[in-house]
Amino acid sequence: MIQKVLAFIVVALTFLVSEGKAAAFDEIQTSAQVFYRLDPEKRIVYVSYEIETVNLTSTSYVENFKFMPSGLRPEGIVAYQNGTKLDVLNVENSYYKIVLAKPAVGVGNKANFKLEFEDRSLYLGTTSSWSFSIPTPKSAQEYKDYNLNLIIPEKYLPNLFLSPKSNKEKAVEGDVVFSFEKEEVLGGPLRVFYGNSQDYSINLVWSLKNAGLAPAIKDIKLPPDTPNQIVYLRSIRPRPQAIFKDDLGNTIARFIVGPITQVDVESNFEISRLFDPVNQKNEITLPEPSEVLDDSIVALSRELKDYKDVLFFTSNRLEYGYGKSQTEPLELSELVKGYSSAFCLDYTNLFTAISQSAGIKTATAIGYIVPPGGSKYRLLGNDLHSWVVMEHDGQIIGIDPTRYDTGGGDLYKENTSLDQITFFLVEDTGSIDYSLLPLVSDVTTISQAAGLPEAEFVGSKGVVELFLKVMFSVVFFGLISIFFVYLLVKHHGKIQLSRRN
């Protein structure tokens, strides 16, 4: 009796999940043609998998196909084999089991079947500016052949950008088909962007606490204008006493917080993330490179000639610590040796140290990655992200070593990511005051960003208000103190001072 070996082909469509080999992969050879047809007007992606399996032994064949839609939200999923509709079973809402009508038995025999569905969760943007993130399974490396085909209406070809780029494209009846081999799409999603900018409306909240008995000055950093980011301040309450720029170009809002008081600063910004770094409002100034004392860093800066070499070194020396926690960044001497539980500040610090040692101007951006859908998402402590802003060929560009390693697919053009919002820049990550970081109460994509002029919130009037408020607080609490001393003296009579014998 022939022993059945059930080969479950695992298609895990997410770059965040680590996968092992499915059972009997060495006995079944699998190939896949995958088609993603984008319909931006309906905001739908039509997905089709054409699977072929070949038996490598006489005791193996495929009876079931296990499809795990992690990272996707399939709608109307159907499967066919030679024109026959197959049973598709949703197993505990975690995966789909497709039962083949006629498994192929015998060495070299093949089974071909097709899987189709729609997905409305991949779209992000508006009608004039949109993006799709197309997941690529890490299990694709187990396939003998894996080809991904992206189909987009030809009218979107102007201002259309892909990451990674396709070396094969052709026009077919009003559409453009971009084809990718397995090696081109492993390690991260395929990102598709159309337009010149991505516009967001974002609500930020700062909780300013003063546990002292005297008024305290609290400075918060508002999202700045950068080469790839134009910021419009729509509202901020309460109004700051002053708004000014620091040496890096960050926008600082200053508040006076009374004794034993908490003030919640609520704000709304409209932010336009530009595709090309052509923002004339950019006020970011990168600091001069600081001296790096670590000998291993200095040696690496002499060996690695280009920022791409530094990026490759950093992403290969470090491994992201999924599911792990870290209280503070590691020392550079430890990072150079390699680390398997690194986080974004580790990637940023290592890349920055090597670059600065090579004489390159850099700073660290602290910010936020807009989640798919871009709405009703609250920023938690571990949702903060950091990346590198550096000078290259006379321009200021952004480099994200963390997402480069984790397959975030954020490089659209000139290393620009349209889903990263910069909150502020720092020279030294050790100087970050985490108690003054904002929470994101809401973020949505909008059709066009256009906010209030910054001049309405900046000027000498704010400085005068700040001075007057400080003086009022000092005088007020001074009078209160004198009043309590008066009551104490009146109640107890003269205050007796101890005498020395």
Among 139-143, 361-365, 370-374, 436-440, the range with the most confident prediction by mean pLDDT is 361-365
Mean pLDDT (the chain, rounded): 79
CB 304 within 8 A of CB 250: no
252-281 tens-digit pLDDT: 999 999 999 999 999 999 998 887 766 667
Report how far apart, in Å, the C-alpha atoms of 27 and of each of 30, 33, 490 are. 10, 20, 97
Distance of alpha carbon 24 from alpha carbon 22, whole angstroms: 6
Work out the pLDDT band at 407, boundaries 50, 70, 90.
low
Q: Which residue has the higher pLDDT, 57 or 460?
A: 57
pLDDT of residue 14: 27
Residue 122 pLDDT > 60: yes
Q: Which residue has the higher pLDDT, 412 or 359?
A: 359
Return the CATH number of 11-194, one of 2.130.10.10, 3.30.565.10, 2.60.40.1730, 1.10.10.10: 2.60.40.1730
pLDDT of residue 3: 35
Q: Where are the domains of the chain?
A: 11-194
Which region among 90-104, 254-268, 363-377 has the lowest average model confidence (pLDDT)? Answer: 363-377
**Percent of the chain whose predicted confidence (pLDDT) is above 90:** 30
319-356 tens-digit pLDDT: 888 766 666 677 888 888 888 788 888 999 999 999 99
> Could you tell me which residues come within 8 angstroms of residue 84 by beta carbon, excluding any fewer than 6 positions away?
101, 102
**Percent of the chain whose predicted confidence (pLDDT) is above 70:** 76
Residue 491 pLDDT > 80: no
Q: Which residue has the higher pLDDT, 328 or 32?
A: 32
Q: Which residue has the higher pLDDT, 408 or 299?
A: 299
Look up residue 66 and give its two tokens: 């296990």
Peptide bond preceding 189: is omega within 30 degrees of 0, i.e. cis? no
pLDDT of residue 233: 92
Look up residue 417 and give its two tokens: 């990511």
pLDDT of residue 497: 39
pLDDT of residue 377: 47
Which region among 298-312, 354-368, 429-443, 445-459 has the lowest average model confidence (pLDDT)? Answer: 445-459
5-31 tens-digit pLDDT: 333 333 332 222 222 233 344 688 888
- The single-letter code of the amino acid at 291 is E
Distance of alpha carbon 370 from alpha carbon 215, whole angstroms: 36
CB 119 within 8 A of CB 373: no
Look up residue 348 and give its two tokens: 């940023």
Look up residue 171 and give its two tokens: 């026009």
pLDDT of residue 379: 47
Distance of alpha carbon 282 from alpha carbon 348, whole angstroms: 22
Q: Which residue has the higher pLDDT, 334 or 407?
A: 334
Work out the pLDDT band at 124, boundaries 50, 70, 90.
confident
Work out the pLDDT band at 388, boundaries 50, 70, 90.
very high
As a whole number, mean pLDDT of residues 43-51 equals 93
Look up residue 28 and give its two tokens: 């079944």
**Angle at the Cα of 475 from the Cα atoms of 473 and 476, rounded to 5 degrees:** 65
Residue 498 pLDDT > 90: no
Q: What is the 3-state secondary structure (H, E, C) of 369-403?
A: ECCCCCCCCCCCHHHCEEEEEEEECCEEEEECHHH
pLDDT of residue 279: 67
186-243 tens-digit pLDDT: 766 787 888 878 888 899 999 999 998 889 999 999 999 988 889 999 999 999 999 9
